[in-house]
Structure 1
Amino acid sequence: MSIPMHQLPEQQPTVWQPASVEEALRLKRQWGEDAVIVAGGTWLRTSWENGLTPMPQHLISLGRILALSGLTVGAEGQVHIGPALNIADLMRNGLVKQRCALLVQACAEIAAPSIRNLASVGGNVMTRTGDLIPALLAMDAQVRRTNGTTEQTTLLSEWLTPTNAQGQHDELMTGILVPAKTSAAASERQEKASRKHEFYLKVGRREAFTPSVVTVAGRLTLEPDGTIAHIAIAVGGGSAVPSRLTRAEAGVVGKPLSKSTLKALHQDVMADFQAVADDYAGVSYRKQTAANLIISECYKAWRKGGGGHASQP
């Protein structure tokens, strides 16, 4: 239940607008736990208004640091997304539509358009349960962050682990990196030799504008004979930290997309998904739903390629 306006604290936070990453980190160190770094602020505002966290004394805005709101392509074709870029602008970007279609699909499932105009990509990731995370995990995305002195780049899957989470309050995210796709010519050759399928699915308590109960994302490549050449699967939902199901992936790579393979994959997803229960859904429901969605998408990939071989599911 939201806090009525008359119950909000009379003392409103001081807003700081640093012009550089170094200045933002310096202010954070100066004010410590009394300060919060903010981009769009939509998730933080919800926490304050619902009384989940106290409103801080200081807000450190990233709005004036233009480098954190940009989108560029590196020399090797890697897409570099500024963490302060809002979700709506990311969706509208032609380069992102061309190279990161799975991410655009995930963006469309987040909240209402008015929220997407404010909410930042980095803020969604910083929640550690955001709906963009499964798509980014399936795309092997990396996180770039700095402590003001040194900058490090880490796989998002590693950044999400509890060990890495301990030191993140002293750092600032400076970029989200999505690996490059192959060149157009190479991609065309690969398409002729194999079949690719991407998917992003979110199950909520209603059709739209709702927190996720289960979210799955994946990328699948099949050889002409139906053999699984590559698969990446990520799951999340609710308060669970999304993760890649690497053991389940390894168990099916190199195998034909057959009924027995899908049955084994279903069992592995059920076993490996670290779902978290809440008032809306239990662990078993989340696990079953995630496994069913993933198997359904694998079957769609087989159907899209025409099916018809002996090992059909």
Structure 2
Amino acid sequence: MTPFDYARPADRAEALRLGAASGAAFLGGGTNIVDLMRERIARPTVLIDVSGLPGSIAETAEGGLMIGAAVRNTALAEHPLVRTRYPVLTRAILAGASAQIRNMATVGGNLFQRTRCTYFYDVEGSRCNKRMPGSGCDALGGFNRIHAVLGTSDACVATHPSDMCVALAALDAIVHVDGPMGRRTLPFGDLHRLPGDRPDRDTVLAPGDLVTAVELPPLRFGATSTYRKVRDRASYAFALVSVAAAVEMAGDRIADVRIAFGGVAPKPWRASRTETALRGGPATMPAFLDAAATEFADARVLRDNSFKPALAIRTLAAVLGALTSGEAA
């Protein structure tokens, strides 16, 4: 591990001042960045611990929720308003890690998890454009079973690892940011970048930017939502495919729907094509399968992950079947 300085600011203003220094990095729960530092992938010169800054969950005037960035994942998953109004978020968080990690991890830190691609972590033996731009991508010709099939480029095929972020994408969350450009908000779908020719840049945020809160807008059918994760083992494994979905019915037809996929792209993947195909249509298994297939029409599969589109399509169809029949729990 490269030597670094450590600071624990007393308030946001001090955190932003310290974060403006070259080589500075913010620390939430440390459940990812500390691993990256041990592997010599992340090498901050100063680590700014913002986990002690005030963090709360409060209802907004519009009926949504404002979630402070320092809120622990466990506290978010267990909050009564999250469990009743946005169960998809509770289930995504509970699917994401062990209880010990959820107790440490923060909402703000979760947004910045880096890929678990094995070539990204193999500092000594593998080429990785996300770790070292311009070096190449050994995943393209290597063992790529866990890698992405949507939104990839010739420079990177790594997937985004977060479960919570998939739910936030489906819920149209809003990210609150403070930093050198002042306070601002951005739609959650705009936070993470596709790799293009710069896969080392995971988000659109600039150095010194600090996420201060995540806002959940009110969603009248948010209670009819769920999260399903398909993985190699039931405990503490990253998704091969995951689905976050919320559905509103009008009789036997779908009035409105929100869907996002995990495990298939370099960012949480909002399934806009599928949503469009489903709205106003019948709540039948053939309709679910056809609508899901539209999202993967341009999928770019690799040698070992060609199963992912079919798995994602079937998983989404099963989730929609459960939600529209009232069986999701």
TM-score range, shorter chain: 0.7 to 0.9
**Among 142, 164, 183, which residue is 2:174 paired with?**
142
| 1:39 and 2:61 are equivalent in the alignment | no
Shift of 1:261: 2.1
For residue 15 of structure 1, what is the amino acid of its counterpart?
Answer: Y
TM-score with structure 2 setting the length: 0.75
Aligned positions, number = 275
What does 1:10-25 align with in structure 2 at a 5 Å threshold? Answer: 11=3, 13-25=4-16
| 1:236 and 2:262 are equivalent in the alignment | yes
Q: Output the CA distance in 1 between the equivalents of 2:274 and 2:33.
A: 34
Shift of 1:260: 4.3
Q: Output the CA distance in 1 between the equivalents of 2:205 and 2:169.
A: 21
| 1:219 and 2:246 are equivalent in the alignment | yes
Instruction: Identify if the C-alpha distance between structure 1 residues 164 and 57 changes in structure 2 by more than 3 Å, giving closer, same or farther.
Output: closer
| 1:287 and 2:273 are equivalent in the alignment | no
Could you say what secondary structure the match of 2:257 adopts?
Answer: strand
Residues 264-298 of structure 1 deviation map (CA, whole Å, 9 limit, x = unaligned): 213213226678x6xxx944222221111001122
Superposition misfits of 4+ residues, deviation over 3 angstroms: 161-164, 272-275, 301-305
Q: Please give the root-mean-square deviation of Cα atoms over the aligned residues, in Å.
A: 2.6
Q: Output the CA distance in 1 between the equivalents of 2:299 and 2:57.
A: 32
Could you say what secondary structure the match of 1:240 adopts?
Answer: coil
Contact 2:247 2:324 in 1 (8 A): no
- Corresponding residue for 1:206? 233
Could you say what secondary structure the match of 1:215 adopts?
Answer: strand
Relative contact order, higher structure (CA 8 A, sep 6+)? 2
Could you say what secondary structure the match of 1:212 adopts?
Answer: coil
Contact 1:20 1:65 in 2 (8 A): yes
Instruction: Identify if the C-alpha distance between structure 1 residues 54 and 176 changes in structure 2 by more than 3 Å, giving closer, same or farther.
Output: closer
Q: Output the CA distance in 2 between the equivalents of 1:104 and 1:274.
A: 31
What does 1:94-173 align with in structure 2 at a 5 Å threshold? Answer: 94-127=80-113, 129=160, 130-148=162-180, 150-162=182-194, 165-173=203-211
Could you say what secondary structure the match of 2:96 adopts?
Answer: coil
Could you say what secondary structure the match of 2:111 adopts?
Answer: helix
For residue 115 of structure 1, what is the amino acid of its counterpart?
Answer: I
Could you say what secondary structure the match of 2:287 adopts?
Answer: helix
Q: Output the CA distance in 1 between the equivalents of 2:9 and 2:317.
A: 48
Could you say what secondary structure the match of 1:170 adopts?
Answer: coil
Could you say what secondary structure the match of 2:51 adopts?
Answer: coil
Instruction: Identify if the C-alpha distance between structure 1 residues 71 and 39 changes in structure 2 by more than 3 Å, giving closer, same or farther.
Output: same
Instruction: Identify if the C-alpha distance between structure 1 residues 256 and 240 changes in structure 2 by more than 3 Å, giving closer, same or farther.
Output: same
